[in-house]
Amino acid sequence: MLSGLRRRASRAADRVIGGAFAVLPERWAVAVAPRRFGFTNTDVPGMPPVPAGRVRLYIAPVNFAAQAHAWARAASRLDGVGAVNTQYSGPDGFAFPADLDVPVAVFANSTRWQRQHFERVSREFTHVLVEAERPIFGPLFDTDVAREVAALRARGVSVAFVSHGSDLRLPSRHRDIDRWSPFHDADPLVATLEQQAVAHRAILANADAPVFVSTPDLLEDWPAATWLPVVVDPDRWASDAPVLERDVPVVIHAPTSSFLKGSDLVEPALIDETESGRIDYRRVPRMPSAEMPAIVHASDILVEQFRIGTYSVAAVEALAAGRLVVAHVHEQVRDHVRAATGLEVPVVEATPGTLVAVLNDIRERREHYRAIAESGPAFVRAVHDGRRSAGVLAPFLGVADESANG
């Protein structure tokens, strides 16, 4: 009986305390009980910077692989356009560059910041690019992206979407076209991704807004979308280090998602090849993005992904460094890039079933594959240095794209 009375008294006290916090100004409540909110007042950042330009683009909220930041820089090449991005991040993130980095607890729990954020964006920006169909104002609109879009449009802001990958890719479609698809397994994650993609498709269908996709394979999931090439800084990744001149090539694999990259399908073979002395395989652990160029420069071959059928930001970075990239890339992706740019994707095709044979061929025909690696930097400068991406964004922003090619 005594313990029951204590529990009831504790619940009553919680209700009283909760009510008191509800009427306190947020700054005071956070100062009194920061653990309740998950952040302190000093954790709360300012507002997104407002760029110069009559057209001001805001990209948020995830910045996967630093692409929102890179697209903002690309859009800023256009005459009269300024662009910035915001990302929310936790303590275990990749430390990607961003114009504004918001602790995830502030993003999710600070009503005061959310309201100020919406006011800043809706009054100071002319265009918003929503990443991955995720809410950019936290729970301010009950995490309802459709309500966010309506609120922005009510203020005269033009809205578009950009999908990065798993947010839009339908596992049920993908497993029908690729025997190596990660979605054949009866894993609960597959069902979750299917539900997520279906929900996001409904958002896009109802929004009646332009849709961009970061990789050409996603055009199979949303045919009305436009490919917005990922962007890297070629100079940051450029290297004079020779490739394929060592007796034993250094092969790296950097799986940000082992499930999607197919690490389990290729690593046993890579380890066997290393133990046999034919390659020097080095698995790259999760690390800050600033450390990656040196690792890539010290390698000969990047073994990329073998399940999804596209080439990722990591592949583009390695191409920019003049490394040889080996991956499983769908013909649909290669065909679209060829049709859009006139260029071939310089990624060597391999599947989990052919990888060892491909690596053997690379060792035996080094000059042939060295030429492929040496074509990578030019491909990146033509397709992925930001100029083409700026041109893709220009119609949405209502500006000419001449400066995107300068």
Q: Identify the sign of the CA torsion 136, 137, 138, 141.
A: negative
What is the third-level CATH fold of 234-385? Rossmann fold (3.40.50)
Whether the predicted pLDDT of 98 surpasses 60: yes
Per-residue pLDDT, 30? 75
- CATH class of the domain whose range is 44-227: alpha beta
Q: Encoding tokens for residue 111?
A: 């009503």
What does the pLDDT average to over 302-317?
A: 96
- Cα Rg, the chain, nearest whole Å: 24
Pairing of strands 226-227, 211-213: parallel
Q: Encoding tokens for residue 237?
A: 């990744």
With a CB cutoff of 8 Å and minimum separation 6, the contacts of 36 are 21, 29
What is the distance between the alpha carbons of residues 398 and 126, in angstroms, rounded to a whole number?
A: 11
Classify 82 as helix, strand or coil: strand
Residue 229 preceded by cis peptide, ω within 30: no
Per-residue pLDDT, 34? 76
Per-residue pLDDT, 93? 62
Whether the predicted pLDDT of 6 surpasses 80: no
What is the distance between the alpha carbons of residues 29 and 61, in angstroms, rounded to a whole number?
A: 26
Per-residue pLDDT, 260? 87
Q: Which of 50-59, 99-108, 241-250, 332-341 has the lowest mean pLDDT?
A: 99-108
The upper half-sphere exposure of residue 266, i.e. CA atoms within 13 Å in the direction of its Cβ, equals: 33
Whether the predicted pLDDT of 2 surpasses 50: no
Whether the predicted pLDDT of 22 surpasses 80: no
Task: Give the residue extent of every domain in the chain.
Answer: 44-227, 234-385
Do 44-227 and 234-385 show the same overall fold? yes
Tell me the pLDDT tens digit for each residue of 142-162.
Answer: 999 999 999 999 999 999 999
What does the pLDDT average to over 15-26?
A: 59
Tell me the pLDDT tens digit for each residue of 205-220.
Answer: 999 999 999 999 999 9
Please name the helix (run of DSSP H) or strand (run of DSSP E) that holds residue 57, with its range, or none: strand 55-60
What is the distance between the alpha carbons of residues 98 and 127, in angstroms, rounded to a whole number?
A: 18
Q: How confident is the model at residue 75 (pLDDT cuts 50, 70, 90)?
A: very high
More confident residue, 6 or 327: 327
What is the distance between the alpha carbons of residues 295 and 107, in angstroms, rounded to a whole number?
A: 33
Q: How confident is the model at residue 8 (pLDDT cuts 50, 70, 90)?
A: very low
Q: How confident is the model at residue 9 (pLDDT cuts 50, 70, 90)?
A: very low
With a CB cutoff of 8 Å and minimum separation 6, the contacts of 78 are 55, 390, 393, 394, 397, 399, 400, 401, 403, 404
**Closest Cα partner for 344 from 304, 314, 372?**
372
What is the distance between the alpha carbons of residues 393 and 254, in angstroms, rounded to a whole number?
A: 30
Tell me the pLDDT tens digit for each residue of 268-282.
Answer: 999 999 999 999 999
Cβ burial 252-275 (10 Å sphere, 16+ → b, else e): bbbbeeebbbbbebbbebbeebee
* % of the chain with per-residue pLDDT over 90: 80
